[in-house]
Amino acid sequence: MKNFVVKTIVNAGALAVAVWLLDKITLTGAGTAEKAGTLIVVALIFGLVNSLVKPILKVLTFPLFILTLGLITLIVNALMLLLTSWVCGKLQLSFHVDGFWTAVLGGLIISVVSWALNMILPDED
């Protein structure tokens, strides 16, 4: 359970940095508490999308991983961020990613920040 909470906090932090750095990734809300709550829900959705859809997509695109020496990971991460944005739109959450290239850059930022936060925060795995 502790591992799940840490991963959710890491995802929320990484998403917050992406929202802060990129104008085309938006998170709106009336106040800081509402934005934080929305960010936690978005982090949960992002974690769910990454745990359910990403492994399937990685298997299907395995030849491209070999061909591009892993650079296709940027595209896969962007697709996961766009899928998260779409799900949030369907759930009427105020998180939106505007465009594919914004998602690529956002995915890169989220990956780097997640890596850094995982180095700092304790993890039982």
Domain definitions of the chain by residue range: 2-120
Q: What is the pLDDT along the chain (125 residues), one digit of tens a residue?
A: 667 888 888 889 999 999 999 999 999 878 888 889 999 999 999 999 988 998 898 899 899 989 998 889 899 999 999 999 999 999 999 999 999 999 999 999 999 998 888 788 766 65
The Cα-based distances of 68 to 61, 72, 112, 122 in angstroms read 11, 6, 20, 33
Q: What are the distances in angstroms from CA 53 to CA 5, 37, 40, 45, 116?
A: 20, 24, 20, 11, 24
Which positions ≥6 away from 71 have C-beta within 8 Å? none
In contact, 95 and 88? CB cutoff 8 Å: yes
Question: Following CA atoms 34, 40, 45, 50 in sequence, which dihedral angle do they give, to the nearest 10 degrees?
Answer: 150
The answer to pTM > 0.85 is yes
Beta strands (DSSP E) in the chain are 25-27, 95-97
3-class SS of residue 28: coil
- The total number of residues shown for the chain amounts to 125
